[in-house]
Structure 1
């Protein structure tokens, strides 16, 4: 089966099929399936994470594992819901290392991010969000096309082509990895603050 070219894809349903047929990098060989983005078809906010995790790979939906629960809590605290957003990842297949029965997450490399970029571009073209919230370094690299230090740009709306903006923040999994409870709560609140900054940006006059 030939993989559809992004320029020929006119719907999210067709895009999902093309992503699942993708062999542009080796990650498809071990993953259960591609994990396409989901959400409002004309959402003003697109949330971009890194890649699917174990549960996402099994269920075929983004952010349905522990990081997804953190994201849901943060969205609610910011006055948003999943229904307000389109949620996706920079890389569509799960990259992992097998350790016994466990599949341990491995960060996608530059090659995998670049090879998967056509699918994120297609999602952006179909959804046409005004704001892209890039969560984590992988998402920032994919959205901007180059590495950027999150600490230097976090919380600021950065201009992108087609009158869109990107707001960089941390990935929800970063919050999960914090062991100190007080620090974890503080970082969660900061994450919520970033999401609220995105809402304020959208409310500004064009």
Structure 2
């Protein structure tokens, strides 16, 4: 497959293989993506991980510093916290597919430190074809949206996690998203990103809220 030679923000469409048979094909193609400028400074692309038959798909924002170095999603501090919250919510880790709305780490250098920066709308839109391609390979029963960036990618800019967190919703909720993300009969639960717990003044209260939201997702799995 011919790949365009460009570093401009063209979007990921030209780089997503149209003949991908499975997640492994997508994962193999993702390092070649030049759909936005984030690839220029990131160490590597960080694709999703988990089984294609996973009952739960959790979508976060973007990889962090540790994820960028290791090439795996949710292996840094926020990922460790999410794993603990998943366990406390009674969801089996092997039932989960983890991914992010944006596949490269966006950061700002301060000395030798790489400080997280929230992806812009252009990055979310540019990376959306990878997320669409992932969902085309998945058939989850529950989709968990972790934070505002993931909500914008999956549900549009008007969705507010703080208004609708922990509330089971039908998925998807529009004809356009039904075309992009054909994962019926999945249900959706939105919650905060685990990194928000780490930033919270009252971490214990924030953590309990995250576990409560994930428990809702767990109960949906239980029927």
TM tier relative to shorter chain: over 0.9
Structure 1 consecutive aligned stretches of length 4 or more whose deviation exceeds 3 Å: 3-7
Aligned pairs for 1:110-149 within 5 A: 110-149=121-160
Matching residue of 1:178: 200
Alpha-carbon separation, structure 2, partners of 1:123 and 1:27: 20
User: Cα offset for 1:113?
Assistant: 0.3
- The answer to whether the Cα contact below 8 Å between 2:16 and 2:30 also exists between their aligned partners in 1 is no
SS in structure 1 opposite 2:145?
strand
Unpaired segments ≥5 residues, structure 1? none
Alpha-carbon separation, structure 2, partners of 1:146 and 1:125: 22
User: Cα offset for 1:5?
Assistant: 3.4
1:166 aligns with 2:185: no
User: Cα offset for 1:4?
Assistant: 4.5
Matching residue of 1:190: 209
Number of aligned residue pairs: 201
Aligned pairs for 1:8-19 within 5 A: 8-19=19-30
- The answer to whether the Cα contact below 8 Å between 2:16 and 2:129 also exists between their aligned partners in 1 is no
Deviations 1:8-53 (A, max 9, x none): 2221111112221111111011111110000122111001110000
Residue 45 (structure 1) aligned to one of 52, 56, 61: 56
Comparing 15-24 and 88-97, the one that deviates more: 15-24
User: Cα offset for 1:89?
Assistant: 0.5
Matching residue of 2:101: 90
User: Cα offset for 1:172?
Assistant: 0.3
Alpha-carbon separation, structure 2, partners of 1:92 and 1:83: 22
Unpaired segments ≥5 residues, structure 2? 4-13, 173-177
Q: TM-score with structure 2 length normalisation?
A: 0.86
Aligned pairs for 1:7-86 within 5 A: 7-86=18-97
1:106 aligns with 2:117: yes
- The answer to whether the Cα contact below 8 Å between 2:15 and 2:35 also exists between their aligned partners in 1 is no
Q: TM-score with structure 1 length normalisation?
A: 0.92
State the superposition RMSD in angstroms.
1.4
Higher helix residue share:
1
